[in-house]
């Protein structure tokens, strides 16, 4: 699925047919508003969608494969450009948002050499700037240091709810990087290049993220989910669901608990990333003889830690035989067993205990693991986090086996595949249990949405995205969709204070949408 970001000629190229009418209104409004702000039409619109993750939670930054799909909601950037020089060695970015009160307009004069981002303030344009910075680095690599970026006039419209677990940030950063590339004359923009630069760019905003969201945003194809793997290099391929009876749908339900990684990173998201790298380092040191250990700075894909599996590959007895193969269920099962035996402390590990095993001082440990993205913790729950990661990686492989091995669903009569459906759903339920108990990234509200949905007929229900609030995803037979909605309404949404608008957006039936695109305005 490599190749260039498609150039769309009509909204039918971008959206599923049920969405075209409402999107046409939205796009017309965007172009009209652009015209009224800047006095001329935009040249093009760059578009990147949000995503829902079907399975594979909190394992992308340990470089295990995940299975997300793009949704209809997206980030749109309408753009025009000019070359008139501003002040000597700077170029000018004018950026506005259709939601002007919430996201006020800004103008920046940016030095050719460096895009400054202050990650300590929470400012919506930081996401644009991070895409800008990444794209300029790439353009400079291609065109040399004398490359001069064009001035840009931008109007943004985003429909992915912020802090909702549907990856508004990755949609915005990917659309921004794409816009900057296109504004500076690039037309055949390589999807892999764009994704990799969006992944690295987003870290500039202060979140030590993995690569799932940007991959889903850029690579997705309408009508299919996306299997994304990160080692030995970034790869994405479309995955189809087999026909089932009853037919399966994905419902996405908001909890309306806002989880803001920017604010809670040190105790939630960034802490988990650190716990995973500490667990990998601990296992590496405890299980591998010194000569087989990984270098501490191994950093595939620019991800700031080495994947668990590289640690596994280094395990003495396997190093030569499996070093180049991809994770298989048997290896993951073995890793689970090894972890259970090696990381035995349920209460977690102190910095002193980990440093001793790694053979470093506590100061060295802090410098290596917790200096770039600060975290707050006395103890690190290495056992639980590692067990979640390996078991979740295994669930993704099992889910893929179910989807792609025809034998898995052929045993049942074509009239009724409910047993097969229930096996898919069971894996999602297991993910939720592991997220709640071992990874501790769920919350009472998400747990409640899952319990209510299962009672009303969902095969499988779980949080999606980072968790601690945000969204949940549910595998529901088409004939139970109304019952599940009704149950949520009486047992959950009616008990919260919600605006009319929130109420309407609370639950969506998700159809897999297409990924990033450029649309040239006539
Ligand atoms: P959200 O918070 O849903 O955008 C985050 C990470 C992903 C992945 C998931 C958990 C970012 C941009 N995304 O998603 O890479 O780690 O959590 O599976 O931080
Ligand atoms: Mg995000």
Q: What is the pLDDT of residues 183-197, one digit of tens each?
A: 999 989 999 999 999
The gap between the terminal CA atoms of the chain, to the nearest Å, is 29
Threshold 0.95, pTM exceeds:
no
Q: In terms of DSSP H, where are the helices of 113-228?
A: 125-143, 168-183, 191-203, 212-219
| Tens digit of each residue's pLDDT (9 = 90 or more) over 14-53 | 999 889 999 999 999 999 999 999 999 999 999 999 999 9
Q: Looking at ligand 1, which atom is closest to the CA of residue 214?
A: 12
Closest atom of ligand 1 to 167 CA is 4
Higher pLDDT, 465 or 310: 465
CA angle 10, 11, 17 (to 5 degrees): 125
- Is the pLDDT at 381 greater than 90? The verdict is yes
Reported as a pLDDT band with limits 50, 70 and 90, residue 164 is: confident
Q: Whose CA is nearest to atom 17 of ligand 1?
A: 466
Two tokens, residue 326 = 């991809």
**CA-wise closest residue to 385 among 358, 424, 346, 411:** 346
- Using 50, 70 and 90 to split pLDDT, how confident is the model at 313? very low
261 Cβ contact list (under 8 Å, min separation 6): 207, 268, 269, 270, 466
**DSSP structural state of residue 4:** B
Task: Taking residues 405-412, report their average pLDDT.
Answer: 69
Give the pLDDT confidence score for residue 114 in this predicted structure. Answer: 85
Which residue did the predictor score with more confidence, 434 or 244? 434
Using a 6 Å cutoff on CB, does residue 274 contact ligand 1?
no
What's the pLDDT at 68?
A: 98
Assess whether pLDDT exceeds 90 at residue 179: yes
Averaged pLDDT score across all residues of the chain: 89
Residue 468 has pLDDT above 50, yes or no: yes
**Residues 253-266: tens digit of each pLDDT:** 999 998 776 678 88
Q: Regarding predicted confidence, which is higher, 315 or 23?
A: 23
Query: Which tokens hold the place of 101?
Result: 């009160």
Q: How high is the pLDDT of residue 305?
A: 38
Task: Give CA–CA dist 61/42, Å, rounded.
Answer: 37
212 lines ligand 1 (CB under 6 A): yes
Residue 315 banded pLDDT, cuts 50, 70, 90 = very low
Give the Å distance between the CA of 316 and the centre of ligand 1.
Answer: 33
CB burial readout 347-378, b (16+ within 10 A) else e: ebbebeebbebbebeeeebeebbbeebebeee
**Could you tell me if 446 and 466 are in contact, meaning their C-beta atoms sit under 8 angstroms apart?**
no
CA of 166 to the centre of ligand 1 (A): 9
Residue 10's contacts (CB-CB under 8 Å, 6 or more residues apart) are none
- pLDDT of 404 > 60? The answer is yes
Give the Å distance between the CA of 83 and the centre of ligand 2: 33
294: pLDDT confidence band, cut at 50, 70 and 90? low
Please give the pLDDT value at position 132.
97
Helix ranges restricted to H, 359-417: 362-370, 382-404, 407-410
Q: Any idea which of 108-112, 122-126, 219-223, 414-418 has the lowest mean pLDDT?
A: 414-418
Q: Cβ distance 231 to 300 under 8 Å?
A: yes
The ligand with the least distance to the CA atom of 439 is 1
Distance CA 194, CA 405 (A): 32
Is ligand 1 within 6 A of the CB of residue 163?
A: no
């Amino acid at each position: 699925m490599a190749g260039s970001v498609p150039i769309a000629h009509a909204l039918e190229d971008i959206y599923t047919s049920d969405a075209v009418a409402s999107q046409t209104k939205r796009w017309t409004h965007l172009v009209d508003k652009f015209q009224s702000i800047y006095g001329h039409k935009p040249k093009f619109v760059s578009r990147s969608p949000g995503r829902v993750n079907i399975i594979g939670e909190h394992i992308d930054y340990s470089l295990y494969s995940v299975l997300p799909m793009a949704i209809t909601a997206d980030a749109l950037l309408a753009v025009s450009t000019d070359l008139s020089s501003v002040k000597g060695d700077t170029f000018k970015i004018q950026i506005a948002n259709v939601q002007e009160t919430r996201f006020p307009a800004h103008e920046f004069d940016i030095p050719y050499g460096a895009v400054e981002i202050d990650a300590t303030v929470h400012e919506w344009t930081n996401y644009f700037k991070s895409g800008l910075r990444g794209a300029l680095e790439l353009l400079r690599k291609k065109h040399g240091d004398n490359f001069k970026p064009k001035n840009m006039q931008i109007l943004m419209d985003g429909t992915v709810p912020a802090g909702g677990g549907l990856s508004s940030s990755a949609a915005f950063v990917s659309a921004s990087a794409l816009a900057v590339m296109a504004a500076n004359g690039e037309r055949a923009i390589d999807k892999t290049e764009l994704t990799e630069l969006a992944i690295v760019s987003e870290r500039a905003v202060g979140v030590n993220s993995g690569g799932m969201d940007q991959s889903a945003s850029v690579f997705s194809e309408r009508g299919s989910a996306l299997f994304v793997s990160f080692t030995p290099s970034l790869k994405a391929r479309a995955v189809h669901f087999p026909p089932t009876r009853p037919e399966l749908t994905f419902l996405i339900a908001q909890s309306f608990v806002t989880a803001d990684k920017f604010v809670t990173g040190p105790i939630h998201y960034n802490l988990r990333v650190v716990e995973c790298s500490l667990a990998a380092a601990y296992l590496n040191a405890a299980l591998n003889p010194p000569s087989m250990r990984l270098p501490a700075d191994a950093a595939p894909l620019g991800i700031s830690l080495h994947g668990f599996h590289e640690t596994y590959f280094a395990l003495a007895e396997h190093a030569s035989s499996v070093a180049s193969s991809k994770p298989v269920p048997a290896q993951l099962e073995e890793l689970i067993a090894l972890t259970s035996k090696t990381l035995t402390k349920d209460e977690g590990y102190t910095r002193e205990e980990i440093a001793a095993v790694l053979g470093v001082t506590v100061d060295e440990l802090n410098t290596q693991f917790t200096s770039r993205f600060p975290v707050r913790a006395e103890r690190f729950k290495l056992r639980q986090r590692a067990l979640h990661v390996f078991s979740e990686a295994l669930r993704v492989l099992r889910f893929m086996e179910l989807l792609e091995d025809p034998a898995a669903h052929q045993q049942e009569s074509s009239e009724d595949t409910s047993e097969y459906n229930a096996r898919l759903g069971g894996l999602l339920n297991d993910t939720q249990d592991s997220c709640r108990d071992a990874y501790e990234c769920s919350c009472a509200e998400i747990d409640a949405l899952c319990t209510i949905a299962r009672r009303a007929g969902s095969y499988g229900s779980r949080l999606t995205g980072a968790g601690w609030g945000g969204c949940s995803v549910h595998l529901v037979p088409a004939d139970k969709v109304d019952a599940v909605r009704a149950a949520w309404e009486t047992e959950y949404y009616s008990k919260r204070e919600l605006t009319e608008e929130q109420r309407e957006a609370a639950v969506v039936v998700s159809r897999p949408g297409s990924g990033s695109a450029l649309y040239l305005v006539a």
